[in-house]
Amino acid sequence: MATPNIYFDACAFIEIAKGQFSVAQSPDRVAETKACRQLLTLARNGEIQIYTSTLTIAEAVHIGDVPPKEEAQKFLERLVLSGRDGVIMVSPDPFIVEMARDLTWKNGIAGGVADRIHIASALHAKCDEMISVDGKLAKRANTHKIEGLSIIAAINSRYLPRQDNDLFEK
């Protein structure tokens, strides 16, 4: 069986960093952060593959403070770029950018260009789930499923072990 591919948009990394540095989060975001961390653990163990766009480098830049404290900067950089946490980068080449354009032209998705590049990157990486913690991506895209890609909250990932009940407490 092939290793499942999932995609994290930038907000997933921001929420993980907020959890790491005890930045105030709503109960829903705490559950999302725990789910994202669990998915990262699965990726580190080789059970899934997590992809994100190189755009995430520019988007995941703060956890409240601007500029963020140096330790938060280093944490975000390591998390996204090191490869130690099982994150695989997707660079938006001309084919991905064209696919992002076609999401508007062919699918009627009028979300922002960064959102469409994230979606196109997930499609390019053949992901079946796209984790979007803030819930706004699917709303801006006006859909929760695009060409086999489900845009979901981390707690709804089918790859999370369901016996971890405290993960879903709110």
Q: What residue ranges define each of the domains in the chain, with the CATH number in brackets?
A: 5-158 (3.40.50.1010)
Could you tell me if residue 64 is left (phi over 0), alpha (psi between -120 and 50 degrees) or otherwise beta?
A: left
Is the per-residue pLDDT at 170 higher than 70?
A: no
Of 93, 85, 82, the closest CA to residue 49 belongs to 85
The pLDDT of residue 109: 83
- In one-letter notation, the amino acid at residue 64 is G
The pLDDT of residue 82: 83
Q: Which two tokens stand for residue 93?
A: 């080449």
pLDDT digits (tens, 9 = 90+) for 113-136: 998 999 999 999 999 999 988 666
pTM: 0.88
Residue 22 exposed, middle or buried by CB count within 10 Å (0-12, 13-18, 19+): exposed
DSSP state of 67: S
Asked which of 57-61, 82-86, 133-137, 155-159 is least confident by mean pLDDT, the reply is 133-137
* C-beta of residue 119 within 8 angstroms of C-beta of residue 103: yes
Of 45, 64, 53, 74, the closest CA to residue 123 belongs to 53
The pLDDT of residue 135: 67
